[in-house]
Structure 1
Amino acid sequence: MHHHKDYKSLLEKTATYAKMGSWEVDLREQKVYWSKVTKFIHEVEEDYNCTLEQALSFYKDPKSLELITKSIEEAISKNKEYDVKIKITTGKGREIWVRAIGIPVFEDNECTSVYGLFQDIDREERKQERLHKQVQFINHVLKNTSVGIVLSDEHCMIKDINHGFTQLVGYDLKEA
């Protein structure tokens, strides 16, 4: 049995430091608690208080709503922790990527609350998306151009040859 309260204050300290918000859904009181950082990420006022239903209304993206709903349900019914990447639409209408970590608390085989962390990972996710698009574009160019392109490593070992190059020289990567 860990000391729930000590844990929570430690979480708060760590969280603020890492731009992570903390939160708790108290199932007995049917109340939702958001830390300052969590409210900041949602772009709502500091005195904003909400129900679980209102908290879920920030998930406008259907896939994200489905994932977070399922995660919370399984935390409550199966004592399953979760760590998910999802999109929320903030109070100011911006769609951003967040990471949500949830930890259920059980007393006498009953889930009394779920608490966890909330982190804005939008910049990192968008960087990944851009990178992914660039790689796709480069692959598309490599496959579909008639210009011969050879990719080699620093030891001049040939790593990849596109179709245009094999057309040009008349043999393929295995032979090269």
Structure 2
Amino acid sequence: MEELLENASLLARVGGWEVDLERNIHSWSQVTREIHELDEHHISDLTESINYYREDFRDMVRNKVSQTIELGTQFDFEAVIVTAKGNEKWVRAIGEAEQVQGKTVRIFGSIQDIHDNKIMEERLRGVSDNVPGVIFQYTIKPEGTDELSYVSKGSELIWGLSPEECMNDSSKIWSQVAGGGDMQALQRSIQFSAETLEKWNFEWRVLSLDGQIRWHHGMGIPSRKPDGTVIWDSLVMDVTERKKLENLLEQSSRMAKIGSWEIDARMTPYFLEWNATTAAILETDLGGVSLEEAIQVYPKEFQKNRPRSHAFTPGEGCII
């Protein structure tokens, strides 16, 4: 068992340490020495141990250790050390006190090399913070409560709120959705994704903090935990400018009386769908009809030379 624990410690890069305050004895495990890039015979006292931390972390570490000795409190922090060979390395340090009659006689704990994970975390944060939107995890629990976590800095651009504000109180976001008027439709889209575990993809309006109506586009991949909790890895972007261009194009089409149509080649018989301008030209409330029915709109003399259905190449077009 002892060998198993030692191997696990080596794999996890977790070392142990101990300071006997009454006898002034300092002990470091093999992994702790390796993290600090020291030889196996080196012994560091408490002052030297603290001085391995980079200067901008040193006061914080010194205060944490002092509180543990004086008050018996635990500490758990992440900081950068400068090893004996001059290399900077991120570590996580955990410590606690052993007290006898209210006096601390020993402090002990662990130190873990988290450098690779920390560097990867910072790189991912750099990527997420530069995405033109906000990245986050959205959670709905079985009892119906929801929360946001791992919110990127894009929240300031999308919602005008800091990541901390979003995670502490999601109602600030929902109030913007309510002001946009699409609350129920958005909630239905999320509920459908939760029930089917299909990708969430929806667009809705919000009333931003500056009083403007803006359009947001959200996407998310859901997963369900054994207890029924559903979690989405999500991205929300502001698509207001795109929506403005779409509306402008639609208005221009109506003014020019240019309608568009589309045929889905995957469906047989072919079904022709059109936009609102085409419907207005044809004076119909229908959103589309079969290709054969659509051809009947034209006078018979124009139908004579129409191609047979099997020779027709589906696609898109316009009607004026």
TM-score by structure 1 length? 0.75
CA displacement, residues 75-119 of structure 1 (integer Å, 9 cap, x when unaligned): 111111111111111111111110111010111211111001110
Q: Give percent identity, aligned residues only.
A: 25
Letter in 2 for 1:48: H
Write the mapping of 1:1-176 to structure 2, written as runs, cut at 5 A: 13=6, 15-16=9-10, 18-62=12-56, 64-139=57-132, 154-158=199-203, 159=218, 160-162=236-238, 163-169=240-246
Q: CA deviation at 1:124?
A: 0.9
Q: CA RMSD in A?
A: 2.6
Whether the aligned pair in 2 keeps the contact of 1:100 and 1:117 (CA below 8 Å) is: yes
The 1:167/1:16 distance shift into structure 2, 3 A limit, reads: same
TM-score by structure 2 length? 0.43
The 1:48/1:154 distance shift into structure 2, 3 A limit, reads: same
Gaps of 5+ in 2: 134-153, 158-197, 204-217, 219-235, 249-320
Partners in 2 of 1:91 and 1:20 — Cα distance? 18
Is the radius of gyration larger for structure 1 or structure 2? 2
Q: CA deviation at 1:17?
A: 5.2
CA displacement, residues 46-68 of structure 1 (integer Å, 9 cap, x when unaligned): 11111111111111241x21221
Q: Which structure is higher in RCO with an 8 Å CA cutoff and minimum separation 6?
A: 1
Whether the aligned pair in 2 keeps the contact of 1:15 and 1:22 (CA below 8 Å) is: no
Letter in 2 for 1:168: L
Alignment length, in residue pairs? Answer: 151
Whether the aligned pair in 2 keeps the contact of 1:15 and 1:117 (CA below 8 Å) is: no
Q: CA deviation at 1:31?
A: 2.9
Partners in 2 of 1:121 and 1:69 — Cα distance? 20
Whether the aligned pair in 1 keeps the contact of 2:132 and 2:237 (CA below 8 Å) is: no
Gaps of 5+ in 1: 1-8, 144-152, 172-176
